[in-house]
Amino acid sequence: MKIGPVGKHDARSTTIVNWDEGSHDGFISQIFLSHGVAGIMSIQFQFVMDGKLVLSDRHGPFSGNMFDVIELNYPHEYITGISGEYYKYEANNPHMRSLKFNTNTSEYGPFGTSGSSNDKFAFKLGKSPQFGGFHGTYDASGLQYIGVYLRPKTVTLLARGDGRQGHIAWIRSLSKHGSTISLCGLYSAGLHSDIHPDLYW
């Protein structure tokens, strides 16, 4: 599920670049932010993918006079929300003015700058590990848009006749972050029987 992006950009800009860090199954372990009095210049991520640390491309110019590293306690800590401010008028500077990251254990930020000419945003992703990545745009002046991906927990219910009179076989699956918990059994006259739980990792 794609949420956003929010932000703005200068219509005169000829260097707008779209970026997307939600197309893989990596888990974020670090976030690197370059920022200054003008706002957020660039953002970059370190992922854990197949047991290896992988560095993403840098999204935006590395030109701010401040730099911060957010270290997450992977795999126990995960992102649950992001909020911030963006400049609501066209200008030749980074429209993403500030960013704040929430996890299930901590808050990081806000980074950047605040102002009365900014609009605020907040994406709250719930308490479960449903965060799926970031996306957005940048140009030569800095970060312009940002959004997130939500990977909601899914539940499927399948039912079919099992050949025995008055019985229906059923399977119920709950999937989250690649793990599936399944229950199966028989349904008869409003009663459940023969329940068999299976856990797959």
For the stretch 92-121, pLDDT in tens is: 888 999 999 999 999 999 999 999 999 999
Question: 17, 138 in Cβ contact below 8 A?
Answer: yes
Query: Across 96-153, where does the E strand assignment appear?
Result: 96-103, 107-112, 118-124, 131-139, 142-150
Residues 52-60 have a mean pLDDT of: 96
pLDDT confidence tier of residue 19, bands split at 50, 70 and 90:
very high
Integer CA distances (angstroms), 79 to 2, 57, 128, 166, in order: 15, 20, 9, 47
pLDDT confidence tier of residue 185, bands split at 50, 70 and 90:
low
Q: How much is the pLDDT for 93?
A: 85
Look up tokens 């401040």; give the residue.
66
Residues 120-173: tens digit of each pLDDT: 999 999 999 999 999 999 999 999 999 999 998 765 555 555 555 554 444 444
pTM value surpassing 0.85: no
Residues 71-81 have a mean pLDDT of: 96
Q: What is the CA radius of gyration of the chain?
A: 22
Q: How much is the pLDDT for 142?
A: 95
Dihedral through CA 127, CA 128, CA 132, CA 136, nearest 10?
Answer: -10
Is 43 a residue whose pLDDT tops 80?
A: yes
Percent of the chain past pLDDT 90, that is, above it, reads 64
Burial status of residue 100 (CB atoms within 10 A of its CB: 0-12, 13-18, 19 or more): middle
Q: How much is the pLDDT for 12?
A: 84
Q: How much is the pLDDT for 201?
A: 32
Residue 59 structure tokens: 């999204």
Q: Rounded to an integer, what distance in angstroms lies between the CA atom of residue 79 and that of residue 181?
A: 23
